[in-house]
Amino acid sequence: MGSTTVGTKIRFRALDIAYIGMFSALMMIGANITSFAPFMVVGGVPITLQAFFAILAGIMLGSRLGAISIAVYAFIGLAGAPVFARFTGGFSQLLSPTFGFIIAFIFTAYLTGKIVESFSTRGAYIVAALISTVIIYIFGTNWIYFAYQIWADAPPEFTYKLAWLWMLAPLPKDLILAVFAGVFGYRMRHIIHKPNSERGVNK
């Protein structure tokens, strides 16, 4: 399999395009998983597995394709498909202060993919997932802060520290999920490189 696109260099095989499209659709399930399996509802707020799925995108598709699949997810959300958490979507989501997290997921997939491409022990998968979670928090919280500063002209009383205090509440839950993502990703890492016959799937 190897069809060429524009130019002479092979950039995307048909299979890559299909994987990316499919994974960004999977991200949508991850964002709204609690509507199918209400396994974790913290204080009435359904949690999302977006970070979890972003980490898996990096592990399963690799750094490059994984990052692109999350970017495609962000684009279809902005184009109006209700793919973000709680079935929201639309171009106005760009103004939502939490949109920074969606962008952070792109880096997450890339970074996780890069780490597990170099180190392939189970420990490395877990460390990669944890580092990615920290990156999500740093990027997302800074985005929230600057969103308030720039779009809302927030006065200096809305401090940087305040933004961080806000974000501390969901941190333990996300760390648990990161470890889970590392372990799960390690077990699932080869799923995509095997033909169906070896995967035990029959029609």
Partner 1 sequence: MNNTLIIGQYVPGNSVVHRLDPRTKITIIFFFVIIVFFANSFWSYAVLTLFGLLSMFASKVPIRFVMKGLMPIWFLIVFTFLLHLFINKDGILLLEWSFIKIYTGGVIQGIAISMRFFLLILITSLLTLTTTPIAITDAVEQILHPLKKIKFPVHELALMMSISLRFIPTLLQETDKISKAQASRGVDFRTGPVKERLKAVIPLLVPLFVSAFKRAEELAMAMEARGYQGGEGRTKLRELKISKLDIWIYILFICVIIGLFLTRNYG
Residues 29-58 that bind partner 1 (CB under 8 A): 29, 33, 36-40, 56
Percent helix, strand, coil in the chain, to 5, is: 70, 5, 30
Sign of the alpha-carbon torsion through 13, 17, 22, 23: positive
Using DSSP's 3-state secondary structure scheme, residue 170 falls into: coil
Q: How far is the CB of 97 from partner 1 (least distance, A)?
A: 6
CA-to-CA dists, residue 192 to 179, 196, 199, angstroms: 21, 9, 9
3 contacts partner 1 (rule: CB under 8 A)? yes
d(Cα 190, Cα 203) in Å, to the nearest integer?
A: 20
Q: How far is the CB of 195 from partner 1 (least distance, A)?
A: 8
17 contacts partner 1 (rule: CB under 8 A)? yes
124 contacts partner 1 (rule: CB under 8 A)? no
Point out which residues pair with 88 in neighbouring strands: 84
148 contacts partner 1 (rule: CB under 8 A)? yes
d(Cα 136, Cα 160) in Å, to the nearest integer?
A: 17
d(Cα 24, Cα 12) in Å, to the nearest integer?
A: 16
Q: Which of 101, 104, 133, 151 binds partner 1 (CB under 8 A)?
A: 151
Q: Which of 73, 105, 137, 143 binds partner 1 (CB under 8 A)?
A: 73
122 contacts partner 1 (rule: CB under 8 A)? no
202 contacts partner 1 (rule: CB under 8 A)? no
Can you say how many angstroms the Cα of residue 28 is from the centroid of all Cα atoms in its chain?
10
Nearer to partner 1, 77 or 118 (CB): 77
190 contacts partner 1 (rule: CB under 8 A)? no
Total count of residues recorded for the chain: 203
Q: Which of 59, 67, 82, 119 binds partner 1 (CB under 8 A)?
A: 82
Q: Which of 95, 134, 162, 168 binds partner 1 (CB under 8 A)?
A: 95
171 contacts partner 1 (rule: CB under 8 A)? no
Can you say how many angstroms the Cα of residue 67 is from the centroid of all Cα atoms in its chain?
8
Nearer to partner 1, 5 or 120 (CB): 5
Q: How far is the CB of 92 from partner 1 (least distance, A)?
A: 4
